[in-house]
Structure 1
Amino acid sequence: MTHPRAAAPRRLVRTPRHAVADRPFLVIWESTRACPLACLHCRAEAIPRRNPRELSGAQARDLMDQIAAFGRPHPLFVITGGDPFQRPDLTELIAYGTGLGLRVAVSPSGTPTLTRQNLTAVRDAGAVALSLSVDGSTAARHDTFRGVDGVFGLTLDGWRAARELGLKVQVNTTVSRCSMEDLADIAALVHREKAMLWSGFLLVPTGRGAALDSLTAQETEDVLHFLYDCGAVMATKTTEGHHFRRVVLQRAALAERGELPRTGALHARLTARAHALGLFDGGHRAVRRPPMDVSSGRGFVFVSHTGEVTPSGFLPLSADNTKHRPLMDIYRESPLLQELRDPSLLRGKCGVCEYKTVCGGSRSRAYAVTGDYLAADPWCAHRPPAWQQAGEEEESPCAQ
């Protein structure tokens, strides 16, 4: 595999404006775990009722004060759940954060609370974007994954209403063995409904997701290449798929030489289906959306419904609690977060990978599978030259 030029990461992969050791680019707050759905992958193992230990309204406002204290430009603040609409003070909190100058986005569930009236209130309170989940291209597929009938229809209705109200809509799709063969059809749906961004969330086997069948490393590679291909006609990104950044760099290097990557059978099937659906027939975007170089504890931090600060919602190791210590101090001084920001500490093939400073693998998946958050990402098919020299013979899926 040709190594990227020194300037390539800045040209093809976006980096936050400020040092990630100083401040996060993104803060996600799990406002509640209350949710009426029973999703097969739920990391939070959501519950029907709100936990009395949740951050109160006053504590939530204090959290937003702490986020604003990082200075401008403020971190993007996402309110997720469970289902955020289970909190009666949701719009008040959005308005408070907006008043502080925060860019606030909301990630609701596809439940009966996802109404035009509620979405209007969210917009009027100052939210700039909405994040919705679509895990199947049909009601049967999506509702089976979400565990409740009717969720697909509610999600589509909410999506269309949000778009009409002027809210930007990001669509998230969990990539597991349940959905991988349906990804081309989901992509066509996302493209047709004009989402701002499509994010492929590569499953982390934690919470209920531990019971789902994992993809192989090669299947994951095929999915990443398919998402890259879709990026020619709509904006795409990944969640817990940090090696997508490596794929972006590799594909650019190959394109300069007029070469194509070596991909597997899943990529071939998804590509054929996408062409059959006409997904790639409408022309290409003028500028491909470069992925952002942030990951667990490194430009990104998660605050639980009880105030626990973790590197990610999928890496359940506490760095401290915002009820007891300011988020700024936790983010900058936590030994856990400092370790995650140091690529020299990575182990296995991630530790010798030429892309470790721009990728680093999913620390959440490494921890879920091995119990070691610094171990190699088990869903990565790339074989670094130094790893191969140490005795690994398998080639990278990209052309040499």
Structure 2
Amino acid sequence: MSEKAPSNSTASRSKAREQAEQKLRDSPRTVQTAVQDPALLLHELQVHQVELEHQNEELRRALQETEEAHRRYLELFDFAPIGYLTVDRMGLVQEANQAISGMLSVQPSRLTGRQFGTHLASEYRGHFTALLKRIFESLDKRVTEVMLTRSDGTTFWAQLEGAAISENGQPGDWCRIAVVDIDVQKQVQQEVMHLNQTLEQRVEARSARVRELSEELERFTYDVAVDLQGPLRHIETFVDKLKKHGQHDEESRRYIEHIQSSGNRMTVLTAALLSFSRASRMRMRSVPLSLDQVFKDVQRKMRPQLKEREVRLTCDPLPMVHGDSGAMQLVLRELLDNALKFTRDQPEPRIHVFAQDLPREHVMAVRDNGAGFNMRYRDRLFNVFQRLHNERDFDGAGVGLATVRRVVSRQGGRVWAEGHVGEGATFYVALPKQPSELD
């Protein structure tokens, strides 16, 4: 610590003496009069005695207050719930309270006058040296986390928060350091990290199992669709032969037509299922892709369909995205086919393709003025074989939109739709701006 300055009481007495001597020098006649008159001199001495007694009483009260404040400070310092240290620039402990003594399981006398760095685990002593350097660079608080060693060799995590003691507005030669035991907090953090790692492993294992089952289901779906084609062709062939040979009454002909109609429907569904399976298994690669070019390629292939219907097809400028060209052509073709189908009864069918820019996604949308749909059932739109309209009104297998969702999800994107019955519908495809791993 720095040398102690003269006490206030000593300075006060020296000043009082100087003032008294100056007063005597300035008033020689008063002194001579007091000496010549013993009664007056005795009175003056008694007055000064009373003044001295009052001053002594004030000094005693001030001393008691100072001692009481010092006692309270020591109690607060010693019995604080966290450890407190006063340390010099070399790391020598000048003062230590009971809390830090209890943390380290050592007596306070074994802390003061010794290097605090000896109580740190060896790999964290450099952290403490760096902390001291930063503390004495300014008056700001500095914080670090270290591992401390108890007298029995066990260790625990602690947070050190230090600040230099100010001398004339600058860091002096001493600093105060608060020590907080954060061992339980660190253990909880480590447990959470372990649980997170375990959870990630479980999620990864579960995801791998889901992918495996999905691949098995896709293979099964593909195999079933392929295997059904042969029997369906046989049914169609023999139904044709049955119609051409022999005489049939009205009821028999009706049965044959039902068989033929169901066979044809089954053929359509099998072909759609096969198409969906192929879309799920197609190879894709993510590259920079112009959706404007995708639209032009699809429009060229659909030109005969568009001319037959005289549909007004318009398109705003579309963005560059990361995706697979063949996959996005399939997506746009399915969405345009869907729009063409549901604008069939419109005298002036209109289909508009446009884009939206979201913070993390590029969005392509296809809007039509067709039949629309009830928003209560929008979650069914993208499921296989799910239909929101009567098959007699709008043909199809109910696989096109499911194919769109499957292809887009494999590119890390998402799909959704908005619409109202009789007021048209809008279908949205969102692709991430950052390239994602293709599924």
TM-score (norm 2): 0.17
Q: Flag the structure with more relative contact order, 1 or 2, with Cα contacts below 8 A and sequence separation at least 6.
A: 1
The answer to which structure has the higher helix fraction is 2
TM-score (norm 1): 0.18
The answer to which structure has the higher strand fraction is 2
